[in-house]
Amino acid sequence: MAFDYDLFVIGGGSGGVRAARIAAGYGARVALAEEYRMGGTCVIRGCVPKKLMVFASGFPQAVSDARAYGWDAGIKAFDWTTFKAQLDNELSRLEGIYRANLERADVTVHDCRATLAGPHEVVLGDGREVTAKHILIATGGQPVVPEKWQGMGCMTSNEVFLMESLPKSILIVGGGYIASEFACIFNGLGVRTTQFYRGAQILRGFDEEARGHIAGEMDDAGINLQLGTDILEMEARDGKTWVKSTTGHDGCFDTVLFATGRRPNTAGLGLEALGLELEANGAIPVDRYSQSRIPSIYAVGDVTDRANLTPVAIREGHAFADTVFGGKPSYFDHGLIPTAIFTQPEYGTVGLTEEEARAQGPVDIFSAAFRPMHSLFAGRDNRAMMKLIVCRQTDKVLGCHIVADHAGEMIQLAGVAIGMGATKADFDRTLAVHPTMAEELVTMRAATRSHSD
């Protein structure tokens, strides 16, 4: 059978675009369909605009520190309108780069929705049908508002960057990294910020010690963090949203933002009609080569719900193209993923948590909490945390956790060492760079605690 394309990609996010470009580089005839804006969640409504908001929210503290260092510094009110205009310009610039890269790779772009009519058949938004030997689903995911609270005018992370004005008060519902990051952002921008989480501690699934440290720092920064708390009732009152909670922390808020979960974007793609059974949350089951149970259909990124991070989607997309079009079977190993959470302070992590490591065997824990030089001089009580988790039998470093300013920058390099199998002795042999926060990683000589089982 003669196909219109060798590869048709549905979704113009980081994973889909990388796969399309690499496949085209191997000589494949490639087309890609995107119904919204090129760049996907990360570029348009995720990592990039969020990180720019993180930068914006940090200036009040920076100016306060500057005064402690002798500068005659001051800061006026934050102008959301000015920031948003600059943000929109930057996102348009990045979207243009994504499009230009596809054009240079000779990828045909369809600015419309695409669905499946068969294992090799794609229906475009204008009704045209095209065929492809291989189809890659890279449609990402989307935030979900619990059904009970839909229709109440609440925001998700998608709408944050579309706000016309900055609220004076906000309730953020959720305890994951998105909820916690936005709590720190809004608090830094001067918004009265409350965060409800029904669990016992924020950042479920991450290292317990690090979670507690971050929660304490957020509380000290003025965020009204209410754990073990959920919403009982919600209603509009005088242009605001009144919320009744399970723990009596009731109040009216200008804005309510839900960050309670995401789901894969598979609804309406036509996958079920092809006999492809999806996971309960809509994720596409795939093997380690990103191939679904229908041999011609592959999927990468958040739509597979494996590890929902932009660099992971990129690596999955690249490996797919290498395997199918480059003759180099490869896959991304999801076992060791460096991650940064842009709370304030940041949290960088790679490898096992203390709890995960303890379940595998005897471990030694090297941990330190201290006041960094920068904030100490400024008179702040903020504390950084450094932690190494070491296998007692092999001396191999199993995990590294950093809670500190610029932790994301530090964990990138720690990830290289741990990925190479570095031992605690390797860390100890490395000369400390002084004076830095990161030197603590190579100067912790004695274990703070040990676990035998």
Give the model confidence (pLDDT) of 266-297 as tens digits: 999 999 999 999 999 999 999 999 999 999 99
Tokens of 224: 């009204």
Beta bridge partners of 385: 369, 403
Whether residue 435 is preceded by a cis peptide bond, meaning omega within 30 degrees of 0, is yes
Whether 406 is catalytic is: no
Catalytic residue among 120, 213, 374, 434: 434
Q: Is the peptide bond before 345 cis (omega within 30 degrees of 0)?
A: yes
E strands, 205-250, where? 224-227, 231-237, 240-245
pLDDT at residue 273 in the model = 94
Q: Is 98:88 a contact under the CB 8 Å cutoff?
A: no
Round to whole Å and give the CA distance between 161 and 45. 7
At 152, phi and psi to the nearest 5? -100, 5
**404-421 pLDDT, tens per residue?**
999 999 999 999 999 999
Please report the sign of the dihedral spanned by the C-alpha atoms of residue 246, residue 249, residue 252, residue 254. Answer: negative
Is there a contact between 79 and 206 (Cβ–Cβ < 8 Å)? no
Residue-range domains of the chain with CATH: 5-142+263-325 (3.50.50.60), 147-247 (3.50.50.60), 345-445 (3.30.390.30)
Instruction: Provide the pLDDT for residue 452.
Output: 85
Is residue 450 within 8 A of residue 389, CB to CB? The reply is no
| CB contact at 8 A, 248 and 228 | no
- Strand 5-10 relative to strand 30-33, pairing: parallel
What mean pLDDT do residues 34-51 have?
A: 93
User: Does position 56 have pLDDT exceeding 70, yes or no?
Assistant: yes
CA separation, residue 2 to residues 5, 6, 133 (Å): 9, 10, 9
Which residue in the block uniquely carries the two structure tokens 């804005």?
255
Strands of 11-84, DSSP E: 30-33
> What percent of the chain has pLDDT above 70?
100
Q: Smallest Cα–Cα separation from 341: which of 397, 290, 403, 283?
A: 403
Query: Whole-model pTM?
Result: 0.95
Q: What is the mean pLDDT of residues 193-199?
A: 98
Over residues 235-249, mean pLDDT: 94
DSSP 13: B
Q: What is the mean pLDDT of residues 65-86?
A: 95
Contact (CB, 8 A) for 93 and 39: no
Apex 69 CA angle, 66 and 70, nearest 5: 95
Q: Is residue 1 scored above 80 in pLDDT?
A: no
Using the structure block, give the residue that is written with the tokens 């009265």. Answer: 192
Average pLDDT on 227-241 reads: 94
Q: Residue 11: what pLDDT? A: 97
Instruction: Check pLDDT > 90 for residue 139.
Output: yes
Report how far residue 53's alpha carbon sits from residue 86's, in angstroms, rounded to the nearest whole number. 11
Does residue 158 register a pLDDT over 70? Answer: yes
Q: Reply yes or no on whether the pLDDT at 453 is more than 70.
A: no
The answer to whether 138 touches 54, Cβ cutoff 8 Å, is: no
